[in-house]
Amino acid sequence: MKKKEDLRIVYMGTPEFAVESLKCLVEGGYNVVGVVTMPDKPMGRHQDVLQASPVKQYAVEHGLRVLQPVKLKDEAFVEELRSLRADLQIVVAFRMLPEVVWNMPPMGTFNLHASLLPQYRGAAPINWAVINGETETGITTFFLKHEIDTGEVIQQVRIPIADTDNVGVVHDKLMELGGRLVVETVDHILTDTIHPIPQEEMAVKGPLHPAPKIFKETCKMDWQGRPLKPLYDFVRGLSPYPAAWSEMKDEAIGKVYTLKIYETEKEPCVCHEPAGKVVSDGKTYLKVAVDGGYLRLKEIQLTGKKRMRIEDFLRGFRMPENLLML
């Protein structure tokens, strides 16, 4: 049995979510022989500034070897990866790996996924769990195989989702738990005390929910098509990023405002206004009529303006008489 200092680990990840697990491995004394992350991203108005991923920034600060392939099947990258002689590969919030990569180390490749698999397979599991009004989510470690997010489950940890939690809150909780679970999973692999379970054998209540990538059009509010609670959950599931958005039209002059919505509050009641109708006293509240009551907007951002509480927004905004959310 190898000791943790002798176990050669290659770590793969890109965003902030993946930094915590890498940090736990490094601070725990595990032998991370290489870090694979996305190429630096062009930033700025002229795309002339290169921004390193959060995982690369951490790796460089701690003197770890960094690989940044454009294509994961590139022969030069595959050879460089093979030269690291990894016993085990760990993937957290990275890309879909080709078999030549995930099948390379003798102990396999495992992934940390931010859902209770087999639920919420896909690129945005935390967002979709909150959008769908789930009261529980969690993290899963599983071995990679051909189909994305379908490999045998090693371990899971569950956490509750409060009705007031937004995706940022849940993300940070899962990120911290994920770091600990990655280390636990490595320890169980080292001691050969794992009993992986095929996902098709796991008990699941109700249908399986996917977690596809979120685009701008995904984030548009549907005032006529969704009732109060799903609209409230929709905002939470996209806050603080990428944020739900809507268009607000002054029907008297036809002017349309575009705004992002970061926080709302439910006001259940029998509502006689048409869905999308904006109601406000012009000073302290702005709410939108929906099926099942009103959705009170608490924090918003008009295009070109800063994000602000609704009281501050109303202080500088002349409220037209006939406003409608589109």
* Binding-site annotation: residue ranges: 115-118
Cα dihedral sign, 161-164-165-166:
positive
Q: Is the pLDDT of residue 321 over 90?
A: no
Residue pair 159/115 in contact by the 8 Å Cβ criterion: no
* Binding-site annotation: residue ranges for (6S)-5,6,7,8-tetrahydrofolate: 115-118
Q: Which domains occur in the chain, in start order? A: 8-201 (3.40.50.170), 216-325 (3.10.25.10)
Cα dihedral sign, 120-122-126-127:
negative
Q: How confident is the model at residue 36 (pLDDT cuts 50, 70, 90)?
A: very high
pLDDT tens, residue by residue, 61-114: 999 999 999 999 999 999 999 999 999 999 999 999 999 999 999 999 999 999
Q: Position 256: which residue type?
A: V
**How far is it, in rounded angstroms, from Cα 179 to Cα 83?**
27
DSSP H or E stretch at residue 23: helix 16-27
pLDDT tens, residue by residue, 260-281: 999 999 999 998 999 999 999 9
pLDDT tens, residue by residue, 195-242: 999 999 998 888 999 999 999 999 999 999 899 999 999 999 999 999
Neighbours of 232 (CB within 10 A): 23
Angle at 153 between CA 206 and CA 13, to 5 degrees: 110
Return the half-sphere exposure (C-beta side, CA atoms, 13 A cut-off) of residue 236: 26
Residue pair 45/200 in contact by the 8 Å Cβ criterion: no
